A = this chain, B = another copy of it.
Amino acid sequence: GRAQGLPRVVKRRINALKNLQAEYAQIEAQFYRDLYGLETKYAAFYQPLFDKRSDIINAIYEPTEDECQWEVGIQKGVCEATESEPEGKPPVNGIPRFWLTAFKNIKILRKLIQENDELILAHLKDVKIKFSGVEEPMSFTIEFVFMSTEYFFNKVLTKTYHMRSHPDDSDPFFSRGPEIISSSGCKIYWKQGKNVTMKTLNLQQCAGHGSVVPTRSKVPSRSFFTYFYPPDSPQGRLLGVAVDYKLAYIFRELLIPKPVLFFTKEAIECNSDEEGHEAGGEEGKKEDKNEEPEGGPKKNLILVEDSTG
Residues on A facing B (Cβ under 8 Å): 1-4, 7-21, 23-24, 27-28, 30-32, 34-36, 38-39, 42, 45-46, 49, 52-53, 56-57, 62-63, 67-70, 72-73, 78-80, 83-86, 89, 91-92, 94-96, 101, 105, 140, 161, 163, 169, 171-173, 175-180, 240, 242-243, 245-246, 248-249, 252-253, 257-258, 260-261, 263-267, 271-273, 277, 281, 286-303, 306-308
Are A179 and B267 in contact, with the CB atoms below 8 A? no
CB distance from A196 to the nearest CB of B (A): 22
Candidates B21, B57, B176, B258; contact of A21 at CB < 8 Å: B258
CB pair B302–A175 under 8 Å, yes or no, is yes
> Do A27 and B46 touch across chains, with their CB atoms under 8 A apart?
yes
User: How far is it, in angstroms, between the C-alpha of A260 and the C-alpha of B18 when the chains are bound?
Assistant: 7
Contacting pair A12 B245 (CB below 8 A): no
Q: Are A11 and B176 in contact (CB under 8 A)?
A: no
Contact indicator A70/B18 (Cβ below 8 Å)? yes
Q: Is the CB of A295 within 8 A of B140?
A: yes
Measured CA separation A13–B98 after assembly (Å): 11
Counting every copy of the chain, the complex holds 2
Q: Which residues of B contact A266 (CB under 8 A)?
A: 1, 173
Query: Would you give the shortest CB distance from A83 to chain B, in whole angstroms?
Result: 5
B38 touches A34 (CB 8 A): yes
Which residue on B lies nearest to A74, using beta carbons? Answer: B15
Q: Which of B35, B52, B94 contacts A35 (CB 8 A)?
A: B35
Indicate if the CB atoms of A295 and B249 lie closer than 8 Å. Answer: yes
Whose C-beta in chain B lies nearest to the C-beta of A161? B295
Q: How far is the CA of A66 from the CA of B263 in the complex (A)?
A: 58
| Min C-beta distance of A128 to chain B, whole Å | 15
Task: Chain B residues near A297: list those with CB within 8 A.
Answer: 35, 177, 293, 296-298
A24 lies within 8 A of B4 (CB): no
A304: nearest chain-B partner, CB-CB? B1
Contact assessment for B299 and A176 in the assembled complex, using a CB-CB cutoff below 8 Å = yes
- List of B residues within 8 angstroms of A94 by Cβ: 13
Assembly CA distance A245 to B52 (angstroms): 38
> Are A291 and B306 also in contact (CB < 8 A) when A9-B85, A73-B18 are?
no
Task: Indicate if the CB atoms of B277 and A272 lie closer than 8 Å.
Answer: yes
Known: A9-B85, A171-B303. A180 touches B289 (CB 8 A): no
Residues of B within 8 A of A20 (CB): 49, 52-53, 56, 260
12 example contacts (A-B, Cβ-Cβ < 8 A) are as follows A4-B308, A8-B84, A14-B264, A15-B69, A15-B70, A23-B49, A24-B258, A34-B42, A242-B287, A242-B288, A243-B287, A249-B292
